[in-house]
Structure 1
Amino acid sequence: MIITEAVVFFTAVAQVYGATIKKSSGLVAQFSPSFPSLPEPTNVVTTYQAGPYATPKKLSRATLKGFPEPWEAPDTSSAEVQAVYKKLDFTKIPKAPVRKQNPDGTWVSTSDGESDPFCWWSSTNCVKPKASYLPPDIYTCPKKGDWGLTYDDGPYNLGKDDKVANKYAEPYLLNYLAENNLHATLFYIGSNVATFPDAARLGLKNGHQLCVHTWSHRVLTTLTDVEIVAELYWTLKAIKAATGVTSKCFRPPQGDVDDRVRAIAYQMGMRTVLWDEDTQDWNLLYNKEGSLSRKEANGYFETWIKNYKTGKDKSGHIVLEHELNPETVELSISWLPKLKQTFNVVPALSCNGITHPYWEESFEYPLFDSSDNGNSTAKNKTSATSSAAPSPTSSSAISSSTSTKQSKSITTASRTKSVASSTSSIEKIA
């Protein structure tokens, strides 16, 4: 969706950390939250690293101090959260309802009606906000053959209460990606970053893009405005404290987003990133939870590869995967060699022309291409504000249907418990 040259211009002039995009750009004003008395992180990189990458056998288990209790709803009355909350322009936050779920995770009200006034993804898979001052969601790769590699819920932390020997906790996945010169967009849980900051640092050092996935994985449209702020703010701060970067990208848990959530996140400096293909790995059977067999999961990958090779699929895709447990990590690693032979496996932001995913302008990522091992910057860059995202009319674009998301939300409580135990350029996100 091409927004206008004016948007690109005003995005380009927001070069100073913490700068606000001018309202005259046509978008709601955007700002980067500040983080009072936050020490500068150590042992971090300050620019994109093209390699060679580290593959450590172990990572430090030191945790960050001064953060909310991991996996608990963060306090909304804290001075830091209130400072960000009061900075919001509430005239630019649509009055969508605070939604409700039944105990099994299904929605009390499954739709706002056919008109879908608030572009509620969980109801209609809407990715183009009804609020004209918000940019469209990033949810697919515009170029045929691009496989937008993403992982949610990391950094995967080996919890002290794990009952199963678990070699798949980080740095396992990060090491595999480094050894195979693959890069991904990583949507980090703030609680996991705070309890495993060294893994987040390794993710940044090894050339991955770090984005926000909330503090405690709560369903955002069920929260009040200030609760949404708290979930996003503490995750932003945890990533900043661990790595020194301030993300301009976020993915809502379960994809659950509407224009109220989008407006809050966007004002806090982040653009919404979704997906158009779902591996369903979140539902893999593990520790007696989940109902998806490995055979069924393999079937998804087999179909995607077959459809592309036979010409049935002429699109690119952003694919939902997780570093949630050993099953999800092992599934992904088992298929990456075949995917790399078939597709151009690149980070989701890169396939959308985004080279500046942080407010810190020193980080400029290449537009990865597996044909050149992902180390060169593409000659023809595309502005992040004009990343093409066609309407989700194809079957692949709506593969994660409303009924699928309701099924996913049913497992939210058990899934959260499982995860919680694992303790100066215009190419940027506008």
Structure 2
Amino acid sequence: MEKYAFDNSTWFSWALDPWAAAPAVPVWTEFFARAMPNPPVLDDISQCNSNLPKAWAATYDDGPSDYTYYLPVVVYERSIKTTFFVIGSCIINSPDVLLSTFNAGHEISLHTWSHPDLTTISDDQIISELVYAAKAVYTVTGVFPKYFRPPYGSVDARVRSVAATMGVRSVVYEADSRDWQYWSDPATLNTTIPPEFEAWISQNVTNQISLEHEMFEPEAQIAPTVLAILLDAGYNLMPVHECQGDPNPYNNTILESFFLSGQFKNQTTLVPQVALLSTTKTTRTSATMTKPLLAQTGEAGAVATTNTSGQYSRSKEVYIILPLILIMILAFIF
């Protein structure tokens, strides 16, 4: 598997210790409350909403990990895309896996920084868990997700409301494979999980969002088998955003504004909101990656954009003004 050159001391110098609970930062909560006052609080997404026959969204939690690579064979051979709900603490240990998954076209969504039950922690901690997860995703991919999965599927009205101020919506599931019960018992997992999917197929279950995991090897190892079961039965597999009719799962301008403002770095004082001139899209596609257009360490303002060769982009005005000046000079001479 291709490895990418990440300098953890630079790229993740902002990061908490892996699996350390994200601390409460009240000014972050206030920032989002002001950025999105009284946001619409939408219900959890629990099923696909697609007119395609046999629509199905296969989702994977708790990655990225060294075992994510079990999925590509059937995914690439059958040209399908899935959704990965990733944990910030795992991203900083396996950024190369996340990058290759993202570059392959799979949907990347949030699964918090340290995997707590969000219904048991404060509003400030909920915000912080999602902020640090979003920072990790953005550091590697350059995008700001609009969807998150609450750990353990545990969500309530308060969690939905807090998350809504950040522009993120909860995605849960109804087709739970229960692979998480058997990750330490591969023999039982291999004889239990495929029949679960075969039973759903025999009952003509459709428009489902299924839950699997990729943290432990037995969980990830069974994924190609069940994907093949669905595909061979004629199911249309797609990422969550596609089965919701959403063309872009990443244009979260609220999160973008937060990081652009410098509020991530400032944990004590509320900073002003910033106006977004455009949606920043800076994807990572090579081992020698360039930094995102938004400052990695939370400085206010964006840096100059670069083209693919790394040189500063020239403004369009230069190419318009110079010819006009030349024409005026020639007219004066002749």
TM-score, scaled relative to structure 1: 0.53
Choose which of 30, 33, 41 in structure 2 pairs with 1:89: 33
Choose which of 72, 81, 84 in structure 2 pairs with 1:186: 84
Q: Residues 48-87 of structure 1 correspond to what in structure 2 (within 5 A)? A: 56-58=1-3, 63=8, 64-76=12-24, 81-87=25-31
CA distance in 2, matches of 1:358, 1:173: 23
Tell me the matched-pair count. 248
CA contact (8 A) 1:148 1:347 kept: yes
The structural deviation recorded for 1:324 is 2.0
Tell me which residue corresponds to 1:117. Answer: none
Choose which of 116, 119, 135 in structure 1 pairs with 2:42: 135
CA distance in 1, matches of 2:4, 2:139: 17
Q: Residues 138-153 of structure 1 correspond to what in structure 2 (within 5 A)? A: 138-143=45-50, 144-153=53-62
Instruction: State the secondary structure of the residue aligned to 1:318.
Output: strand
TM-aligned CA distance change 1:74 to 1:302, over 3 Å: same
Residue identity matched to 1:335: V
Residue identity matched to 2:22: P
Instruction: State the secondary structure of the residue aligned to 1:89.
Output: helix
CA contact (8 A) 1:283 1:291 kept: no
Tell me which residue corresponds to 1:234. Answer: 132
Q: Residues 267-306 of structure 1 correspond to what in structure 2 (within 5 A)? A: 267-286=165-184, 293-306=189-202
CA contact (8 A) 2:109 2:146 kept: yes
Tell me which residue corresponds to 2:242. Answer: 350
After superposing on structure 2, the runs of 4+ consecutive aligned residues of structure 1 that deviate more than 6 Å are none
Q: Which runs of 5+ in 2 are unaligned?
A: 253-278, 282-334
CA contact (8 A) 1:57 1:171 kept: no
TM-aligned CA distance change 1:307 to 1:62, over 3 Å: farther
The structural deviation recorded for 1:297 is 2.0
Alpha-carbon deviations, 1:271-327, whole Å to 9, x = none? Answer: 1111111000111141x6x9954322222012012222xxxx3x3111111112111
TM-aligned CA distance change 1:298 to 1:172, over 3 Å: closer
CA distance in 2, matches of 1:329, 1:359: 29
Residue identity matched to 1:301: F
Alpha-carbon deviations, 1:227-278, whole Å to 9, x = none? Answer: 1111111000110111100111100001100111111111111011111110
Residue identity matched to 1:252: P
CA contact (8 A) 2:127 2:162 kept: yes
CA contact (8 A) 2:183 2:216 kept: no
**RMSD (CA atoms):** 2.6
Residue identity matched to 2:63: G
CA contact (8 A) 2:73 2:224 kept: no
Tell me which residue corresponds to 1:424. Answer: none
Choose which of 345, 359, 362 in structure 1 pairs with 2:251: 359
TM-score, scaled relative to structure 2: 0.68
Q: Which runs of 5+ in 1 are unaligned?
A: 1-55, 94-130, 158-168, 364-430
